[in-house]
Amino acid sequence: MQMIHRERFLQLMTAQAAFGATAAGGVSRPALSPDDHAVRGWFRQQIEREGLEYRIDAVGNQTARLACGFADAKTLLIGSHFDSVPNGGRFDGALGMLAAFEAALSIRDAGIQLPFDLEVINFTDEEGTHLGLCGSTTLTGGMTTERLAIPRDGRAALEAGFAQLGLDLNRVLEAQRDPATLAGYIEVHIEQGTRLEKANLDIGVVTSIVGIRSFWLTLLGEAAHAGTMPMDQRKDAFFGVLEYAQRARELIMRDFHPGTLNFGRVELAPGAFNIVPARATIGVEFRHGDPALFDAMESALRALAQEVATGRGLGIEIQKVDNVLPALMHEQMIEHVEAAADTLGLRYTRLMSFAGHDAQSMARVCPAVMYFVPSVDGISHNPREFTSDDDCVNAANVMLQAVLQFAQNYQ
Amino acid sequence: MQMIHRERFLQLMTAQAAFGATAAGGVSRPALSPDDHAVRGWFRQQIEREGLEYRIDAVGNQTARLACGFADAKTLLIGSHFDSVPNGGRFDGALGMLAAFEAALSIRDAGIQLPFDLEVINFTDEEGTHLGLCGSTTLTGGMTTERLAIPRDGRAALEAGFAQLGLDLNRVLEAQRDPATLAGYIEVHIEQGTRLEKANLDIGVVTSIVGIRSFWLTLLGEAAHAGTMPMDQRKDAFFGVLEYAQRARELIMRDFHPGTLNFGRVELAPGAFNIVPARATIGVEFRHGDPALFDAMESALRALAQEVATGRGLGIEIQKVDNVLPALMHEQMIEHVEAAADTLGLRYTRLMSFAGHDAQSMARVCPAVMYFVPSVDGISHNPREFTSDDDCVNAANVMLQAVLQFAQNYQ
């Protein structure tokens, strides 16, 4: 059985971690930062040294291309991202990049003739330093000039970052590819959770990437003097939000498992120790991988907010923030990954991804799948993020076998 | 029976409301602002026009003095404050000032010989634009150079405000009076609550002014990815604070009535929609008029915080913010006010003041008392603050009779 080149691959993993290396053992490579430019330069060198074809598109996605030579061949994309959150870990994104690159090298080394072009892709700004999933969203036609106009760090920073790649912010949308040219997409990533570790499994095959919706919920009571207004006569907006948060948590855990709910921000106004809060605003974020349950979650969360407000005589305001739809992975692609794991004797399960990934953009336009390898203690976006060498090697071997499975079943 | 001059008094009430008048019908006279200086100038004119002796001390407290002529006579202070919160009402402070001034004028008009000097006092910055209870704290020896160095709006603003009164910030402490010269203190104020209104009473005689303590309580959990970290495995600091707030409210209402508790501020960190909060900080403020119960409240609130933190495996930090001790009113002074109300056929009760007042400073150094008249709907620090003419007149008549009761029993 064809296997990847373990030493070459682990050396690449070590080498990439030098770019933006932090004292704590992680990497800090926000998209288009000097350290991201450095790791991009290094990746280009590796591609060219190995004799693969290097390309960069209008949004800065880098690819290593292994052409099959057939006219009108479609392209199978495999990859992830080299950018990181500030002060992140050395596996998030980079493992997916190098497992894909190593799989491509192994195929090239073995002289295997694929029925499609294979491209290893480094997507721009997966983590959202400027615009989350920027590269994959643009490649799949989901980017807009409106979104490009309001990146998180301002347009000037994004423009400067692209300029350093020789790219023009005004031409970014040209990176869109015709879906008819795409055969599929496969990505491997660390789990960023503990389900595989706890179940003692090697591989988690993702069935869907959760949708993520968020809104600001504001309950409106009446400001009052914290001394002179008796406690049983207050219209305290904070206690409304408190009842809401507690009941919402119980509701989601009871009726929408394994969907998740988080309250990451709370603001009270006027915001003084001695004034009963007139306004309490809470940031509500919820996730689910099943489109129908995702919508039902939103309905239930909105109905509960109304019920709490009515019960306490409070006003209510809801302001939408974000809305990312669940992305279903492709059943045949899932089966290719499972077959790959079987071939390698690895233990696997199906699960949802509760974090966003470039695979969700790809799933909108072509058969896509992603899979996870274990993260120790589920630690992620943290220098202590860790995945063992054996699990990294499994990631790369499954990628190689999955590409071969895809090729064998390709029509 | 001696009564105050109703028309003169109500005309003064109307006249004072022109200074800092707001479109909504209230007044905005933050201490030492141009409008506060204007009302101070007007008050001085009224004092001098009526032939009383005008004085101003080193902290800007203005007094109208009616001397008794006896050598070594002590002074009975009566009064309140003309400053207001920004966009406040026209009764808070001003009613107490003019009820006292009118009582003094009525005594002067009637040629009553008092056995002490009577001074109507306008305390500087009761509301705390710069330093809460500034004038009364300084007069009673509680002010420090340390506090004077860090006023809320900065030292330059306070210095400029004093300079406009011809005063030197460096000499403010000279306003302290020898307690041996003080016979007592009487103040009337609007209730800023609804207890009198609901019980259909005219006068509330204050038995104590509540102590106010506040602290920041921080619970420490662990930041986590809002998608990948299962809900039942999180160390979510927000839900710790939420349990604390609910249990603390129940505890205070059940065991410490009529003490109050408020949560006016909440902050979560890191503070992102998609991150489970690692830190949740809540501003806790509690009040009680009984010194022993006040201390017991603090012990109970701290013990509960520890219990919640331990139960959830969270860390805990407590940072003290403010500590104002309860101030007990003087029993004989209380009885003088009750006798005054009886004389006038008014219905009264004893109650605690849940707001701070200059009387709490005075109670530290001499026999002090304050009493309330009804506030419609308890609205306060608001242009809609309202007390009827009849209740205002009651305020002034009770002041007159209370001074006379004090004089009759003076030794």
d(CA A95, CA A392): 7
The model's confidence at residue B332, banded by pLDDT at 50, 70 and 90, is very high
pLDDT given at position B160? 96
A229 CB neighbours in chain B (<8 A) are: 193, 260, 378
The secondary structure element, H or E, covering residue B33 is: none
Nearest to B226 among A227, A232, A285 (CB): A285
Phi and psi (nearest 5°) for B263? -120, 100
The secondary structure element, H or E, covering residue A396 is: helix A389-408
pLDDT given at position A220? 98
3-state class of B133 per DSSP?
A: coil
The model's confidence at residue A40, banded by pLDDT at 50, 70 and 90, is very high
pLDDT, tens digit (0-9, with 9 covering 90-100), for A343-364 = 999 999 999 999 999 999 999 9
Res A322 pLDDT > 90:
no
B88 CB neighbours in chain A (<8 A) are: none
Burial class of residue B411 (count of CB atoms within 10 Å of its CB; 0-12, 13-18, 19+): exposed
- Asked whether the beta carbons of residue A226 and residue B264 sit closer than 8 angstroms, the reply is yes
Quick count: other Cβ atoms within 10 Å of Cβ B226? 27
Res A232 pLDDT > 90:
yes
Two structure tokens written together for B321: 């913010």
Two structure tokens written together for A336: 């290719």
Counting one residue from A and one from B, how many pairs have CB atoms under 8 Å apart? 157
Identify whether the C-beta of residue B197 lies closer than 8 Å to the C-beta of residue B375.
yes
d(CA A172, CA A174): 5
d(CA A350, CA B133): 66
The model's confidence at residue B109, banded by pLDDT at 50, 70 and 90, is very high
Which residue of B228, B254, B382 to mutate against A (max A Cβ within 10 Å)?
B228
- Asked whether the beta carbons of residue A355 and residue B228 sit closer than 8 angstroms, the reply is yes
Two structure tokens written together for B261: 């508790």
A171 Cβ partners below 8 Å, 6+ apart? Answer: A58
CA proximity to A350, closest of A201, A240, A127: A201
Which residue of A266, A301, A322, A324 to mutate against B (max B Cβ within 10 Å)?
A266
Phi and psi (nearest 5°) for A353? -95, 125
Length of chain A in terms of residues written: 411
pLDDT given at position A115? 97
User: What residues pair up with A320 in beta bridges, in sequence order?
Assistant: A215
- Asked whether the beta carbons of residue A264 and residue B245 sit closer than 8 angstroms, the reply is no
A121 Cβ partners below 8 Å, 6+ apart? Answer: A61, A62, A63, A77, A78, A79, A100, A135
- Asked whether the beta carbons of residue A273 and residue B381 sit closer than 8 angstroms, the reply is no
- Asked whether the beta carbons of residue A287 and residue B226 sit closer than 8 angstroms, the reply is yes
CA proximity to A91, closest of A80, A102, A101: A80
Residue whose tokens read 């807009």: A144
How much is the average pLDDT of A20-41? 96
pLDDT given at position B295? 97
At residue B210's C-alpha, the angle toward residues B58 and B149, to 5°, is: 35
Give the strand pairing for A368-373 and A182-190.
Answer: parallel
Sign of CA dihedral A222, A223, A224, A226: positive
Q: Distance from CA of residue B60 to its chain's centroid?
A: 18
pLDDT given at position B411? 86
d(CA B318, CA B297): 15
CA B216 to chain A, closest CA, distance in angstroms equals: 10
Nearest to A264 among B193, B275, B355 (CB): B275
CA proximity to A263, closest of A278, A249, A277, A250: A249
A217 CB neighbours in chain B (<8 A) are: none
Assembly ipTM: 0.83
d(CA A164, CA B161): 56
Q: Give this prediction's pTM.
A: 0.84
pLDDT given at position A272? 86
d(CA A279, CA A316): 10
Residue whose tokens read 């295997």: A112
The model's confidence at residue A225, banded by pLDDT at 50, 70 and 90, is confident
pLDDT given at position B189? 98
Burial class of residue B67 (count of CB atoms within 10 Å of its CB; 0-12, 13-18, 19+): middle
